[in-house]
Structure 1
């Protein structure tokens, strides 16, 4: 079948149309009779289903679109050498050329039967196809050919990887990852390494509490059993990402991954079950995993506007064709800088379970805390991805696994004996829990520890939390694993130490001896020249980090221009000084290739 070449923020993507799968938006319980199999319940706002493979897919889709209860139908695609379905959501990110006639642009949209959903201050126009529009991929390609349009990028969604791995060895009923005494009650023949834990119980003692109920951890995942004894009553501001509603789906089709992830971060201390790292924290559950830039913006914006303090993400990808682009990065950066009243949400991503020398692309985004996994013997978990960008590791399976909550509809591990569906050693611990592991488990553990740090000191910025975690981590492995700066591709800066991290957070708050934030060199560029603005940030540390990063990457002068707005300071970050606007534009592609979204700014009057 022929392929279609699609422009994305990461370059061009060759897609081939599926011969059997389509995406449908269905109202009601009954599926159209043409549906042979339900493949994926949620992808880009559609249900991915299989139609009769013997029929021409175009004619089959046209027919099912006429069915009662089907509001929208779309083709499903596959990228070269990849078996994950790709769904166009029907949205297009369009940027007209500079100084384009806006009336002419709107006439073009009308002729193509497109609806303007958003007209953003940065010049981006978010478009939506209608029933009268052509295929959104073809519409975007047609727009891209027009001289008046600079970019037209269709919004695509693909399933991302949930970083869970089944336990590899036995289990015990005690939570050794919080405090490891070197043995497991009732299992005398499996020794652990004493002290191979995250020091969470010691952090509780230092705080003299289990953390603050004023701290909210957002967990972005699928499959939350909010009636589970360890999670009941903890949910605030839930969001179904695709539908933009507060009611979350339940049952097998909804998935099971979010329940154990949430429990590791904040399972309640209620006398039964398990206890999370930050038992008093509140849970903000966001159901839905998405590559779509539009839905990615929605999820992180919801976290910011609804008051999340920490955002835990046990998912991602190591496939280069689906690495996050500029729009994804902007959404994450917005949370890192705008959240918590400008102090920034703490964003934690899993490094991934592929066992590669490459960590999850989402975990590589600037400012994100990237988490790998260590074992009950303080060794590197073999499945845990390695490489530059890893921040810390945290205890998970690979030796003894972690005990976590399980959704009431969780079917357990397939293809094992019935007694080992939930517990690897076959010993029943009741209907509410199961073995859990992977970097999916290590990530919410670190998210919970970040919540304890904010309980100790609510004024910490996102950059300060990350710096403290790095500085207080325990070096495990061998000295040869680490370079002269104390960094390891296998362990990051080491295994997370909650007690030391909380102690440092208290020191920042208590005596004023904390290191000053990195200085910002405020430089007012020469008036009458031109520059490329890449960002406008209020977070002091983020401005300093970005400035240093830009200077290193491009060897161009970087200017910081402060602007007072609504009683606070925002810093414009500007790259280069050019005599003309044309010379400035000559450098745009260079910055875009590195993931930035620059625009030309005349420097007269800046500051």
Structure 2
């Protein structure tokens, strides 16, 4: 039945568009012609693509030439100016035409003449930039996939980096199930079991012993691998260091050796979801050896730049009542990042310990029944918290007992019941690793400062003092996007610098400037005098002056009569080439 198909096709081709729409044509790299039905809107031509939003075409085009040298005669004939090479990509250039129609026409002409492998308008498209894993449990990880009230803005941070394998995060804990399918063995670095002095960091089978695996999952679980959920830094290296005996017991020697091992074997970040309470210290437990191990890490780690060492703030008195962080505890050290917990609304967890030494908070369980906990990895199979789809917890003298709650998978590989500042700390550690992934030159102190300076003032900015700190929230909840943006682009940078967030710029960060490409920093202005020399004030921001020429060897001129003559020359040339209608 070819006739109906042909009729339907003809109807599509002949359907009228808006009176102001124009058809613009250029050739794809494979030789197929592309037709753009565009509407002039200000200085742009805009294609309104159903379901995708507007696609804008400006004066610029991207070209990869067939020869090493640019065809300058052709460029002059087409009134094209060279803007810059496209980085180090061979024979690739960014060019600029007098207007959007001329840009598209130049793309077509360069391809027809055989001058270009490809010549494409510099489209500005409303594509989704945020990487969002398709892993089956990712939607349940509200601390990553939730809305702005709950999550740490990690998807926006992943636009810049999902982590580098050279940035290794050590989890000093109960051990890690290194065979877990959601932990990439290619990123495994220097595993250690301090207790057995071996490279097997496998945990014991009790629920409490899955603690380290759960922590590592929140940091380094793979993303986009159709397995489980995701870690905050899914591309980072991971180093499991087992220091705990069966059932969660620990000793100083193991703690010291574990931290030192991590620092001496390439760890960039050391995450510690454990602590030694002030009550034990007051009973005579001296933590000086462990503190010296921490100082070793921040002075000798990373070639002298220092490891970023994070400690959980603590989980209160055992009855979900928060307590002050003791002055002698490890989180109170200046050399550490002390991490408290907040819930899905940004409210501090009821058990999260507090004090002036608290650096930041990160997502975890609120402490209230019926509220969401954290989904992460569990020890494989019946070992750990998830046994055949049922949740178990370790009770003193009883071993593992069922809690009466379900788990997300019957295989026993994941849990949705990870809680406490133990869960918050690896989330913050993952953000620290993302920061170092985009700027490995930072010192440990600079990373700590970035985490604190970029934190969100949840749940209410009025809670924080003049210095931006609150004893229960620290400097706020970690924000991965802001932290990574500051690490990558800097703070208060001058006009012309790339940016992602306002704090990157001394002026304003414009995503869509009138001229040029964004996001970039621009100087705000109200009057022409507000702008530097050779810049003009347009729409509230300073832009470089635009000098027009006649395109026939005329010297540039900033005088009004020169501009007029130049503009006339451009218009005449365009008219002769059929680019302007009578």
TM norm structure 2: 0.52
Q: Aligned pair count?
A: 328
**Counterpart-to-counterpart distance in 2, 1:246 and 1:317:** 26
In the alignment, does 2:359 pair up with 1:391? yes
What stretches of structure 1 move > 6 A for 4+ residues in a row?
Answer: 509-515
Give the equivalent residue in structure 1 for 2:62. Answer: none
Higher relative contact order (CA 8 A, sep 6+): 1
CA contact (8 A) 2:216 2:426 kept: yes
* 336, 343, 356: which one aligns with 2:305: 343
Give the equivalent residue in structure 2 for 1:502. Answer: 484
Shift in alpha-carbon separation, 1:223–1:293, aligned structure 2, 3 A? closer
**Higher Rg of the two aligned structures:** 2
**Counterpart-to-counterpart distance in 2, 1:176 and 1:426:** 16
Give the equivalent residue in structure 2 for 1:445. Answer: 427
Give the equivalent residue in structure 2 for 1:228. Answer: 180
Give the equivalent residue in structure 2 for 1:243. Answer: 196
* 332, 337, 341: which one aligns with 1:369: 337
Give the equivalent residue in structure 1 for 2:294. Answer: 332
* 313, 316, 337: which one aligns with 2:272: 313
In structure 1, the residue corresponding to 2:375 is in which secondary structure? strand
In structure 1, the residue corresponding to 2:140 is in which secondary structure? coil
Give the equivalent residue in structure 2 for 1:203. Answer: 157
In the alignment, does 2:301 pair up with 1:301? no
How far does the alpha carbon of each residue in 1:219-257 deviate from its partner, in whole angstroms, 9 at most, with x for none?
Answer: 011141111111241422111112322123444169211
Tell me how far 1:509 sits from its aligned partner: 9.9
**Counterpart-to-counterpart distance in 1, 2:286 and 2:425:** 19
**Counterpart-to-counterpart distance in 2, 1:262 and 1:283:** 8
In the alignment, does 2:384 pair up with 1:410? yes
In the alignment, does 2:230 pair up with 1:275? yes
Tell me how far 1:511 sits from its aligned partner: 6.5
In structure 2, the residue corresponding to 1:256 is in which secondary structure? helix
In structure 2, the residue corresponding to 1:309 is in which secondary structure? strand
CA contact (8 A) 2:339 2:360 kept: yes
**Counterpart-to-counterpart distance in 2, 1:198 and 1:451:** 14
CA contact (8 A) 1:324 1:362 kept: no
CA contact (8 A) 1:358 1:388 kept: no
User: Which residues of 2 match residues 17-416 of structure 1 at below 5 A?
Assistant: 173-181=139-147, 194-205=148-159, 207=160, 209-233=161-185, 234-252=187-205, 255-269=209-223, 270-289=225-244, 292-322=251-281, 325-354=287-316, 355-359=321-325, 361-398=329-366, 399-408=371-380, 409-412=383-386, 413-414=391-392
**Counterpart-to-counterpart distance in 2, 1:483 and 1:410:** 42
**Counterpart-to-counterpart distance in 1, 2:218 and 2:427:** 6
Tell me how far 1:312 sits from its aligned partner: 0.4
CA contact (8 A) 1:211 1:281 kept: yes
How far does the alpha carbon of each residue in 1:355-394 deviate from its partner, in whole angstroms, 9 at most, with x for none?
Answer: 3332271111121000011111111111111122110000
Shift in alpha-carbon separation, 1:268–1:479, aligned structure 2, 3 A? closer
**Counterpart-to-counterpart distance in 1, 2:459 and 2:203:** 42
CA contact (8 A) 1:239 1:287 kept: yes
CA contact (8 A) 1:215 1:282 kept: yes
CA contact (8 A) 1:179 1:195 kept: no
Shift in alpha-carbon separation, 1:173–1:431, aligned structure 2, 3 A? farther
Shift in alpha-carbon separation, 1:311–1:244, aligned structure 2, 3 A? same
**Counterpart-to-counterpart distance in 2, 1:342 and 1:202:** 31
CA contact (8 A) 1:178 1:199 kept: yes
CA contact (8 A) 2:455 2:478 kept: yes
In structure 1, the residue corresponding to 2:142 is in which secondary structure? coil
Tell me how far 1:195 sits from its aligned partner: 2.9
**Counterpart-to-counterpart distance in 2, 1:177 and 1:423:** 24
**Counterpart-to-counterpart distance in 2, 1:509 and 1:308:** 27
Give the equivalent residue in structure 2 for 1:570. Answer: none
CA contact (8 A) 1:266 1:276 kept: yes
Shift in alpha-carbon separation, 1:396–1:246, aligned structure 2, 3 A? same
Give the equivalent residue in structure 1 for 2:69. Answer: none
CA contact (8 A) 1:422 1:434 kept: no
How far does the alpha carbon of each residue in 1:414-437 deviate from its partner, in whole angstroms, 9 at most, with x for none?
Answer: 489xxx958946665753211112
